[in-house]
Structure 1
Amino acid sequence: MASTNSEQEYTPQLPDEAPEANEPQLPSNYTGDDIKTLDWREHIRLRPGMYIGSLGDGSQSDDGVYVLLKEVLDNAIDEYMMGFGKHIEVTVTDTTITVRDFGRGIPLDKIVDVSSKMNTGAKYDSKAFKKSVGLNGVGIKAVNALSTDFYIQSWRDGMTHAVDYKRAEIISDSRVEASDQPNGTLVRFTPDATIFRDYRYHEEYIVRLIKNYTFLNTGLSIFLNGKRYYSRNGLLDLLKENMTQDPLYPIIHLRSDDIECVLTHTKQFGEEYYSFVNGQHTTQGGSHLTAFREALSRTIKEHFGKNFEYSDIRGGIVAAISVKIEEPVFDSQAKIKLTSRDMGPNGPSVAKFIGDFVKKELDNYLHINLDTADILLKKIQQNEKERKAMAGVTKAVREKAKKIALHNKKLLDCRVHLSDTKGDEERKNASSIFITEGDSAAGSITKIRDVDTQAVFSLRGKPLNTYGMPLVDVYKNDEFALLRAALNIEDSIDDLRYNNVIIATDADVDGMHIRLLLLTYFLQFFPELIKKGHVYVLQTPLFRVRNKNVNRRRGAAKGKKSSVADETYYCYSEEERVAAIARLGNNAEITRFKGLGEISPEEFRGFIGPEMRLDLVTLRKEDAVGELLEFYMGKNTSERQNFIIDNLVVEDDSQIS
């Protein structure tokens, strides 16, 4: 037997098979000349996803143009958190944003360093910015590099200094001069349209962002284009703003130094959380949210002294948590998921800090507020009863869904998924599934889809109307079982496979009905899909207006080829059709698309490409979803019939081929 101290020769094992064809391969003449060192500006512009996540055009709330705004706003918020400046002014146009805070102002001799020298900032020293969200000295530089125009000015103790940039290159640097303006900083930037193509700021996303800042910083006023946003009750106001169903009991509001949380239960299914770290909305949660969910379940279970399942305790919960952590660590520069395990270099673990707080404060609250505790207990017992009633059903449904899913011809999957642990974030965010109406519509999309990021799920006729149905009966439905399996949301939406769930139905009565049936299902059983901005409706053209045939006839009549260029307009509304006819003349050929299957694959290519029109399905408290669902999907037949008769519109097809 060989000695344990002897050296053994290492022989590398060669792979049995050649690398996959799609694996990136270095060129055979790979030399030192291929190694490049980029300037920081070039690197940010070449790899913007490393700094701001996805790019986008402003049509989604997590697009890069909003991350740029957050980077600037975070600096202003940090000043407020340190006790300087009671309000912030934000001015937004379609393409440009200006943020003016009234904090201490950047030291005038460091304006250039702070805005254009990487890894430069005041937040490395926790004494200056103890619980800041921006610690790496990167954010404002990324905004500068990704903007065609970037202007920064600071006022400090009666003096001011301003610098003007173009794509992070200085074009104007004013000298320090006297000023009578109050202390603070102003940043104005216009994102580069060559990077953020065809972008536009949407006010509704900015309003939501600003409201969150005010909920997390009570007493701070933020003025957006002159309108004031302000919160007196912190996360309590946030929950009231976002809840679409009435709470079963008064919202529980607990707070202390460095932590605040609110919770209640509603009749909805699943769990709904809003989590924040140092004022940053961590949309993907992280260690603090995991600790909070665990602490809630354990505390409530111990309070009632019953062996409840955690899923029964949290079923129907709506909650929010905000913590302040020294030197937080996130999974990326976008700061949407916390990875910190500790509250700070010398602090307790995140789990212990949150667990101790929730155990003490929530348990005390339930002992004092017996009526709330009683309602909560009944809700948990109801969840337990429903779960046991469904135990056999869900097991059978899952087994059946698994068998069908193995040979499910209704699902054509893609290669990249939102839930992938590895891969490019932008491509994962682009992952989409089109829910289509039958094989005909699916056929057109299937032939021209992006097989990397676009999947297709074909419905078999009209799905079940789930309004008011018991959960047990809904789970027995094969169609929805297959859809849940395709989306991977059987237990929760945490492992959702596609970032964009797109309903693609015909623009006729049947198509609209199918759309309503799907939305009814999502609203009742998976409202978080909608609240987190995953559900869209695909807009496809109603009309094609063109002069192609007219031009050919005119050319043939004259015995020569027409010199008039062919023009085709795809119109998504009656107004667009009228405008197209006005451009082409009354002899234009008009085609009415009554189904997606009537549109050829080549024509359809543009309708599901980068320029596709998507309507985001939103859910707000003022939408009165319960009343809307009952009216349109409930059993009030005569009332709905009278509404249809009173609002019936007859379409004139006389000029449509």
Structure 2
Amino acid sequence: MSELEPDLTLNPTSNYTEDNIKTLDWREHIRMRPGMYIGKLGDGSSQDDGIYILLKEIIDNSIDEFVMGAGKTVEINLTDTEVTIRDYGRGIPLGKMVDAVSKMNTGGKYDSRAFKKSVGLNGVGTKAVNALSSYFRVQSIRDNKTKIAEFAYGNMTNEEPEKETTIRKGTKMTFIPDAEIFKNYKFRKEYVERMLKNYVYLNPGLKIIFNGEEFYSENGLKDLLQDNIDEEIVYDIIHLKGEDIEVALTHSGRSYSETYYSFVNGQNTTQGGTHLTAFKEAIVKTVREFYGKNYDPSDIRKSIIAAVAIKVMEPVFESQTKTKLGSTEMGPGLLTVRTFVNDFIKTQLDNFLHKNPEAAQNLERKIRQAEIERKELSGIQKLARERAKKVSLHNKKLRDCRQHYNDQKSQLKLDTTIFITEGDSASGSITKSRSVETQAVFSLRGKPLNSYGLTKKIVYENEEFNLLQAALNIEDGLEELRYNNVVIATDADVDGMHIRLLLITFFLQFFPDLIREGHLYILQTPLFRVRNKKETRYCYTEEERINALNELGKNPEITRFKGLGEISPDEFKNFIGKDIKLEPVMIGKDTTIENLLEFYMGKNTPTRQEFIVNNLKTDL
């Protein structure tokens, strides 16, 4: 691939001639514009960071082999920096192996006879991994022969001739992400496991072995819901399957939010798209027709937990990272996605409700309960919105940014961040240091209310919670979330930890999907600054402080940052820029939301007091 663009190293005042045109080869273009191919770079603290996209691009090829009936096992071995993926599919044709991983727009998926409903249809993924890796190795085994090639930064360093072999057919790829592009990166096991589990849910019968641990699913999306639901449900999971579509759904007994898991051709479309929009419409239409009542869509969908997966011919995604489906048709000359999904839900869900009257009764009872709660809240909501509208004219709590996560045209949407700060001094430092394009600041006044055990009514009655909800734009779910990263920025002391827990409690209680979908973080800032006349070191731990003292020689100056407000704006920009350190807040697979809330914000037990004072942990 090449690109024609001005050579910016030339004198900008010179005439624009043929000498100004620069041609980049495919490696140079990917390395110069990595965001075009893998989204944001990041250090691995976010599940949509580039290192996971690299991993996914290679695994997608192995999954496509399984889908085509070739190879039931994929083995993945991951160290701190190196990834190896081995499948037992057909193997890349040996004569084209090098081209397949190093020549743009080359790949088997352009031939629809070989790959009918594949994710990676643009011939870019593996090449991007190659170009963005300091080491890349590919081995293909087929027809009792094998071939190996090695690369560095996309340039081939070694090509071995074909030779006879007795090992099983398939493909084996190893790569090490380039540390110059992915600075201080770290693969987080939780994110990798979530990705791999989705692969097996979507491909019953597929076995993935990750660092010796086996992932497998027999019941597809039903298993996905069962493994992720951590609360009481109103009726047993409804599981519907058809050609090119699978659906699982139920309703939670206590959640306020709507939770969706959506997929296209095995790809987790975290931002939804035409198929998810069609699914939501179809659920409302089918339920209304079944009960013969014009229930409000929000009452029907309140507390729903659902997963939907479809397969589309030649899917069109809205970005290279394939997180939102843009296709309006199932394939050339086929039904629209909307009609296909609607027809399936109308027939299958209606049949299920007729055949399962108890589930139908429980569902209608849940809808009526949601209707009652909505009407009770409506008066309070109206007052809260009027108050928020009036306050917003003079509101100094939110210092907004120009780009937003729900702006589909924004090239920087993945970088959008809101810092929730404690007090004016901390918010002042961040505000002066931030990027006005992508970073917003919301300033709390003291400690927020403990919302544990309270109803959603409090979200509207408490001015601070109401304004925070409005700033994030999450009242009706995450679809219009305004910031990709919601960052709690408090002092690294006991009071700061308490504020963190109060905010986490608020989100767990009323907006748990913000945490489930990987949007909530804790800002890590240095505890110490150690410097001499030549060098300054920022230390995040006591160990780093001791190392800095030993390495900077005699009598360096040591500063202990007791609060965020003590860090000057000039220094703060070092901690919220490209080297920002974020610790994700996660819901552990073996811990329910109810148990978390009870532990952190329930009765004031000695166990919790000891935890707050001694641990200050953010990974839940």
- For normalisation by structure 1, the TM-score amounts to 0.87
2:230 corresponds in structure 1 to 244
For 1:274 and 1:507, the matched residues in 2 are separated by 35
User: Which amino acid in 2 is paired with 1:98?
Assistant: T
User: Which amino acid in 1 is paired with 2:431?
Assistant: T
2:259 corresponds in structure 1 to 272
For 2:80 and 2:176, the matched residues in 1 are separated by 10
Q: Which moved more, 1:259-268 or 1:601-610?
A: 601-610
For 1:256 and 1:197, the matched residues in 2 are separated by 44
Superposed displacement of residue 289, structure 1: 0.8
CA contact (8 A) 1:71 1:140 kept: yes
For 1:435 and 1:480, the matched residues in 2 are separated by 12
User: Which amino acid in 2 is paired with 1:410?
Assistant: K
Superposed displacement of residue 647, structure 1: 6.7
1:19 corresponds in structure 2 to none
User: Which amino acid in 2 is paired with 1:541?
Assistant: P
* Matching of residue 33 in structure 1 with residue 19 in structure 2: yes
Pick closer, same or farther for the CA change 1:158–1:269 going to 2, 3 Å: same
1:92 corresponds in structure 2 to 78
1:305 corresponds in structure 2 to 292
2:158 corresponds in structure 1 to 172
2:598 corresponds in structure 1 to 630
1:412 corresponds in structure 2 to 399
* Matching of residue 600 in structure 1 with residue 571 in structure 2: no
Cα shift readout 1:464-512 (whole Å, capped 9, x = no counterpart) = 2222222223311111121122212232221111111111112233222
Match of 2:383 among 389, 396, 399: 396
* Matching of residue 287 in structure 1 with residue 274 in structure 2: yes
Pick closer, same or farther for the CA change 1:633–1:79 going to 2, 3 Å: same
User: Unaligned stretches of 5+ in structure 1?
Assistant: 1-25, 549-564, 652-657
1:449 corresponds in structure 2 to 434
Match of 1:534 among 519, 526, 531: 519
For 2:614 and 2:320, the matched residues in 1 are separated by 53
CA contact (8 A) 1:244 1:621 kept: no
CA contact (8 A) 1:126 1:326 kept: no
Cα shift readout 1:48-101 (whole Å, capped 9, x = no counterpart) = 222111122222111111111111111111110011111011111222211111
Pick closer, same or farther for the CA change 1:650–1:409 going to 2, 3 Å: closer
For 1:574 and 1:168, the matched residues in 2 are separated by 40
Q: Which of the pair has more CA radius of gyration?
A: 1
* Matching of residue 366 in structure 1 with residue 353 in structure 2: yes
CA contact (8 A) 2:498 2:612 kept: no
Superposed displacement of residue 146, structure 1: 1.8
Pick closer, same or farther for the CA change 1:586–1:37 going to 2, 3 Å: closer
Cα shift readout 1:101-153 (whole Å, capped 9, x = no counterpart) = 11111111111221222211222232221111111222112222222222111
User: Unaligned stretches of 5+ in structure 2?
Assistant: 1-11, 616-620
Cα shift readout 1:424-474 (whole Å, capped 9, x = no counterpart) = 2xx321111111111121122222222222211111122222222222233
User: Which amino acid in 2 is paired with 1:206?
Assistant: V
For 1:587 and 1:47, the matched residues in 2 are separated by 44
CA contact (8 A) 2:494 2:613 kept: no
1:552 corresponds in structure 2 to none
* Matching of residue 134 in structure 1 with residue 120 in structure 2: yes
Superposed displacement of residue 576, structure 1: 4.6
Match of 2:455 among 467, 470, 475: 470
1:58 corresponds in structure 2 to 44
For 2:333 and 2:552, the matched residues in 1 are separated by 73
Pick closer, same or farther for the CA change 1:147–1:493 going to 2, 3 Å: same
Superposed displacement of residue 297, structure 1: 1.3
User: Which amino acid in 1 is paired with 2:462?
Assistant: N
1:558 corresponds in structure 2 to none
Pick closer, same or farther for the CA change 1:34–1:462 going to 2, 3 Å: same
User: Which amino acid in 2 is paired with 1:596?
Assistant: L
CA contact (8 A) 1:151 1:187 kept: yes
Task: Give secondary structure in 1 for the equivalent of 2:598.
Answer: helix
1:209 corresponds in structure 2 to 195
For 1:497 and 1:303, the matched residues in 2 are separated by 36
For 1:112 and 1:352, the matched residues in 2 are separated by 42
Write the mapping of 1:403-552 to structure 2, written as runs, cut at 5 A.
403-424=390-411, 427-544=412-529, 546=530
For 1:648 and 1:40, the matched residues in 2 are separated by 51
CA contact (8 A) 2:508 2:597 kept: no
For 1:273 and 1:464, the matched residues in 2 are separated by 29
User: Which amino acid in 2 is paired with 1:334?
Assistant: T
Cα shift readout 1:398-417 (whole Å, capped 9, x = no counterpart) = 12111211221122122222
User: Which amino acid in 2 is paired with 1:56?
Assistant: G
* Matching of residue 387 in structure 1 with residue 355 in structure 2: no
Pick closer, same or farther for the CA change 1:108–1:582 going to 2, 3 Å: closer
For 2:48 and 2:258, the matched residues in 1 are separated by 22
Q: Which moved more, 1:140-149 or 1:354-363?
A: 140-149
CA contact (8 A) 1:94 1:202 kept: no
For 1:104 and 1:648, the matched residues in 2 are separated by 54
Superposed displacement of residue 377, structure 1: 1.1
For 1:43 and 1:584, the matched residues in 2 are separated by 40
Pick closer, same or farther for the CA change 1:600–1:167 going to 2, 3 Å: closer
Superposed displacement of residue 571, structure 1: 4.0
Pick closer, same or farther for the CA change 1:443–1:324 going to 2, 3 Å: same
For 1:644 and 1:44, the matched residues in 2 are separated by 49
Question: What root-mean-square deviation, in Å, do the aligned CA atoms of Structure 1 and Structure 2 show?
Answer: 2.3
For 2:325 and 2:609, the matched residues in 1 are separated by 54
For 2:161 and 2:608, the matched residues in 1 are separated by 68
For 1:64 and 1:40, the matched residues in 2 are separated by 18
- Kindly tell me the number of residue pairs found equivalent between the two proteins: 603
Match of 1:643 among 599, 607, 610: 607
User: Which amino acid in 1 is paired with 2:512?
Assistant: P
For 2:591 and 2:34, the matched residues in 1 are separated by 37
Cα shift readout 1:617-651 (whole Å, capped 9, x = no counterpart) = 112342222123134323x34xx2x4367679699
CA contact (8 A) 1:295 1:354 kept: yes
Pick closer, same or farther for the CA change 1:175–1:249 going to 2, 3 Å: same
CA contact (8 A) 2:45 2:583 kept: no
Pick closer, same or farther for the CA change 1:645–1:532 going to 2, 3 Å: closer
- For normalisation by structure 2, the TM-score amounts to 0.92
